[in-house]
A and B are shown apart, each in its own frame.
Chain A
Amino acid sequence: MIATRRSPAQAGAKSQSNRIRLAGQRGMIALAVLPLAVFYLVWVGIPMIYTFIMSFYDWNPLSVTQTFVGAGNYLEALTRDPLFKRVLINTAYYTVVTVPIGLILALVVAVMVNSLPRFIGLFRAIYFLPVVTSVVATSIIWRWLYQSRFGLINQLIGMVLVDTLHLPINPSIPWLTSRTLAMPAVMAMSIWKGLGFTMVLFLAGLTSIPSVYYEAAKIDGAGVWQLFRHITIPLLQPTMIFVLATGIIGGMQVFAPMYVMTQGGPANMTKPFVYHLYEKAFTLYRFGYASSLAFILFAIIMFFVFLQFQVMKTRWEY
């Protein structure tokens, strides 16, 4: 820890040192705060207001004058946009599946890794590997594995299920071009990619649980499951809330895996909300409409942020 050095002059020189200190601090404060204020104004404050204003206009960056449409954009999104409901469902589907499955898998792997007598570091490194590679690269890898004719997954299915077990299935499964399979295929990649990240958070949580808790419970005759249920789970709850909240908020904003793996297809079945927003803004130049989409997403995400705060405030004080 830090060794605190105490000068004998400290007490007596307090008032004088205070004055010098305050003078020196003023410069530091200015240096820290003024550029930050400018930065927040330019890249956060003004954009927020800008998006809000644009969402009430039929805003096109290519035209000189912009037409005020009132709540027209919001009405269009909620009632007339044929894709709005689709992308909302896709996004919810993606989030509702990937977040809980990712959490449970990561927890299971973390507990298993943590119980190993040796090679904890090795397994941790292996499971973390996909986290460090970019989403674009891993999406490309998986697109290749999913390829229906010579992708490895279908080839393995062909070898094992068809050639060996003689099951009557066609091994050319169109993973990424089937309306029903494409989204689960993308989800599998996302879970695979994010698993190590969540696992590392859980591992850090697990190692911070004092082992005396377990020893005391064992003396009282608790079994493995009881230890897990009544010690591990409650003490990991803060980590779980964090993982759930960041997972939901991140899931609502997913974009890159679909952009690379399916381009939103087939028939928009893998198009997430942000992809729709991106297309409205940057291929159709409907900035006003896209802004209203952004604010709708903002409202949804704020709801979850609010929920997270409520959950954190009300429960789990140990």
Chain B
Amino acid sequence: MATDSPLPTLAPEFAGSAGPYRGRVRWTTVLNYVLLLLGGVVMVFPFIWMVLSAFKRSDEIIAYPPIFFPSQPNFDLLVRVWTEINFGRYFANSLLTATVATVAVLLTSALVGFVLAKYRFRGQNLLFVMVLATMMIPWPVLLIPQYLIAVELKLLNTYWALILPSLYSSFGIFMMRQFMHSIPNELLDAARIDGASEPHIFARLVLPLATPVLAALAIFHFMWHWDSLIWPLVVINTRNMYTLPLGLATFTNQYWTDYAAVNAGATVSVIPVLIVYVVLQRQFIEGIAMTGMKA
């Protein structure tokens, strides 16, 4: 596949070449490649530098001119970081809460989106207006009372504090509702006449049809949850319950001047993400594009 475009864009006579501007001057293509490569170096190099630096000796870190490759891989920093910050635990906390919240959001968004798009009931429009309205509320407005509610419900320093407030996503509901509209009613009616119950139709017919949209929503929501800092900062203060961003940020504030150690910590946190990304990059990118187009 020369292009990863989700839609065919080219008339057959243009196949093999690409892009609307092609065909005029060849040197622009070369220039594009050169410029994009330079830009690509800027995008990727910070990660390469970070990973390489994590394996350097302290004298190599402050060497001038800068040393690109460490003379031999040195694991001191990484071992120190791994023992001083409980990365395995933070990672597990992040993975667990982000996964549970994402699965919950997929189910709830699909169900509410389906009901909103395909059923008629009293208060339906009101509910949809509420979904739209909550999409627009900026989270800082809700932060303080949500914290107080978390205190009241005795959720502080529990997984529930990280999961409960993101069991539903207004954005997810909106996206699923838009998708559900595209499912023909005749299809659902046909299943009903064949004797399928409503939950059965939802689980066996609608959910499989929604798989691409669900995958897109899953990636979007997982990344958002994985990345969140301020809510964990507010509701978590025992180290065992730290999420990865919270653990990293706290570690940074603690070892503010120890750049090498902080950098090694970031390396440890980023490498698993990079591996997953390299394997699944198509799904990631197309998922994001899809959520963007839906919104």
A interface, CB within 8 angstroms of B: 2, 4-7, 9-10, 13, 17, 20-21, 24-25, 27-29, 31-33, 35-37, 39-40, 42-44, 46-48, 50-51, 54, 61, 109, 111-118, 120-121, 123-138, 140-145, 147, 149-150, 152, 155-156, 158-159, 192, 195-197, 200-201, 203-205, 207-212, 214-215, 224, 227-228, 231-232, 239, 242, 246, 249, 252-253, 255-256, 259-260, 263, 274, 277-278, 281-282, 287, 290-291, 294-295, 297-298, 301-302, 305
Going nearest first, the 4 A-B pairs with the smallest beta carbon separation are A115-B19, A50-B145, A121-B4, A47-B145
A10 to B190, CA, bound (A): 7
Say yes or no: A260-B252 contact (C-beta < 8 A), given A2-B187, A152-B66.
yes
A32 to B186, CA, bound (A): 22
Say yes or no: A192-B42 contact (C-beta < 8 A), given A5-B190, A48-B137.
yes
Is chain B's binding surface mostly helix, strand, loop or mixed?
helix
**Structural contact, A253 and B139, CB atoms closer than 8 A:** yes
A209 to B9, CA, bound (A): 7
A144 to B111, CA, bound (A): 45
Query: Of the candidates A2, A144, A196, A290, which one forms a contact with B183 in the assembled complex, judged by CB atoms under 8 Å apart?
Result: A2
Q: How large is the interface on B (under 10, 10 to 19, 20 to 34, 35 or more residues)?
A: 35 or more
A50 to B114, CA, bound (A): 32
Query: Of the candidates B62, B147, B265, which one forms a contact with A149 in the assembled complex, judged by CB atoms under 8 Å apart?
Result: B62
Count of CB-CB pairs between chains A and B under 8 Å: 343
Quote the shortest CB–CB distance from A51 to chain B (angstroms): 5
Say yes or no: A305-B259 contact (C-beta < 8 A), given A128-B285, A134-B244.
no
Contact with A along B88-110 (1 / 0, CB 8 A): 00000000000000000000100
**Structural contact, A158 and B293, CB atoms closer than 8 A:** no
**Structural contact, A294 and B140, CB atoms closer than 8 A:** yes
Say yes or no: A4-B190 contact (C-beta < 8 A), given A115-B22, A201-B292.
yes
Quote the shortest CB–CB distance from A147 to chain B (angstroms): 6
**Structural contact, A117 and B245, CB atoms closer than 8 A:** no
Contact with A along B247-286 (1 / 0, CB 8 A): 0110011000001001101100110011001000110110
